[in-house]
Chains A and B, each alone.
Chain A
Amino acid sequence: MKRLVPRMLLVPAVGTLFLWMIVPLAMTIYFSLVSYNLMEPGDHEFVGIDNFAFFLTDPSFYVAIGNTLLLLGSVVVITVLSGIFMALLIDQPFPGRGIVRVLLISPFFVMPTVNALMWKHMMMNPIYGVLAQVWEVFGAKPIDWMTDHPLFSVILMVAWQWLPFATLIFMTALQSMNREQLEASRMDGATYLQQVRYLYLPHLGRSIAVVIMIEAIFLMSVFAEIFTTTGGGPGDASTNVAFLIFKEALLNFDVGVASAGALFAVVLANIAAIFLIRLVGKNLDR
């Protein structure tokens, strides 16, 4: 009895999560092996690895992989570097620090579609956008962001959204810095840059790893920003793997090929996940 009740309490959560994981996965594996188009009724013929072959030989696939990695890599580099900079900048008290914190954190709570359209229209519109006006002030020719630099535009939006996350994590980590050690190093004549290099950065190492891995998991499948602004285009210029799978499934209605792609995306995400799970697991044992 004493052991039964705690177990029963676990069942609802574990059971639903198990279904949530296993049912889609099993269906995806099945779909990936048959010929299945939503527009063509009939039997789902077993086609072996044809769907995988189709997905892997599609030239868009390699463009999408490249775009996914470029998007992920750029956002991670931008947010980690600027996040460290911001966190160090506001680590010590200064007038208005509370307000600065609130303003800095806000972009993270803006829903992705609002973020995307705000940048696409009000910031990046080549005629009326704020950036175009700034360019004109400096006598430069305004840029047509969505057409000429679609992927970079998406990178900018996503980085803007995730910079607060990185900043917040680093800020939290800095609060546990050993103040006496800092003071002692200052007494010994260490410059601020030396402190950053030998005290702050090593202290942040772990949180940098966490930020990289969490961003890797979420940014591997950026969708709403692409969907609402560039629609993956022009051509495949801003199509990532997530968007390519969406196109196969809901625009081409090819369930088989989309499922093969989905399995690929799951494998890709798991590579990042393994490292994060290890790190969190270590933390759990303490």
Chain B
Amino acid sequence: MTHAAPPPRMSAPLLARTIAAWLVTLVIFFPLGWLVATAFKTELQAISVPPLFVWKPTLENFAEVQDRSNYLLFAANSLITSVVSTLLGLALAAPAAYSMAFFRGSRTRGVLMWMLSTKMMPAVGALVPIYVLAQTTGLLDTRLLLTIIFTLSNLPIMVWMLYSHFKDIPHEILEAARMDGASLWQEFRRVLLPLVLGGLASTGLLCLVLAWNEAFWSLNLTSAKAGTLAGLIASYSSPEGLFWAKLSAASLLAIAPIVVIGWFSQKQLVQGLTFGAVK
């Protein structure tokens, strides 16, 4: 029989730091953990005093959320608007970023800074005109409108992220391809695309997260037809109805996929939201 090696002894400062870090983390994470727990309780258990920490989990909330509020429609709206706006944004941003990274001109810097400045406009500044435009064109409460707005509001971040990816690709590779007589399209398709696929994916993921979680435009421009999950959850805000378990179940379904994607796009988040100012 072999004996397992005794666990390495922790030094006192390390032990203290470990305990402190875990304690603070658990406090910060607690509300989210509690939300997950409540999603698997009955409505009575959800408001029990004192709070229940041990119970028999139930799945009934998840079924009821669909019956009560047509959850799937809102989920579909969220999915369609965020995915389509991300793809559209990539299609617009990639050529621009490519052009600026590889054919740097005297105005490139100005264009980049100008794009950044459009992202700094507060959304509420454009609320009135966008609302009036949407009303006159009959686009109010449509997925099309929301998709367009998500695309445009994420476009500067996408151009910036892709630009910083493209900038790191050595020009010599493209020069070599050009020497060998590759056309611009071939150069893009055969040489560049394989190199930037990772950058495109991470940019896309971040913008997916941002579009999925977007609340300002969804709350103001959509309701029953094109409403997203952010809007559906907001409809649970009534003070009288204590439907905490259903609220939690609906919330859990709305955030789970995106939180998981978020874990994987931490680095891109830092890069994208700070426009490369922190590396």
Contacts and interface: CB of A to CB of B under 8 A. Distances in A.
A245 B125 CA distance: 9
Interface string B114-138: 0111101111111111111101000
Contacts of A121: 242, 244, 247
Given A122-B38, A227-B219, A5 B184 contact: yes
A110 B35 CA distance: 11
A89 B20 contact: yes
Interface in B37-54: 38, 46-51
A10 B184 contact: no
A280 B276 contact: yes
A246 B215 contact: no
B20 A13 contact: no
Nearest to A220: B122
A224 B276 contact: no
Interface residues of B, number: 99
A111 B99 contact: no
A282 to B, nearest CB: 9
Interface string B5-22: 000001000100110111
A273 B117 contact: yes
Interface in A94-123: 94-97, 100, 102-114, 116-123
B84 to A, nearest CB: 15
Interface string B216-228: 1001100000000
Contact of B127 (A105, A117, A258, A277): A258
B122 A119 contact: no
* Main SS class of interface, B: helix
A7 B276 CA distance: 24
A166 to B, nearest CB: 11
B262 interface: yes
Contact of A246 (B127, B270, B274): B127
A258 to B, nearest CB: 5
Interface residues of A, number: 100
A13 B96 contact: yes
Interface stretch (B59-67, B169-177, B196-204, B252-260): B252-260
Contact of B215 (A38, A107, A223): A223
B266 interface: yes
A104 B46 CA distance: 25
Given A10-B100, A223-B216, A265-B122, A128 B275 contact: no
Nearest to B112: A284
Given A242-B122, A277-B113, 7 more contacts: A12-B95, A13-B115, A25-B125, A100-B25, A117-B247, A121-B244, A123-B31
**Closest 10 CB pairs between A and B?**
A109-B262, A224-B215, A13-B96, A27-B129, A273-B120, A6-B103, A9-B95, A24-B126, A9-B99, A221-B122
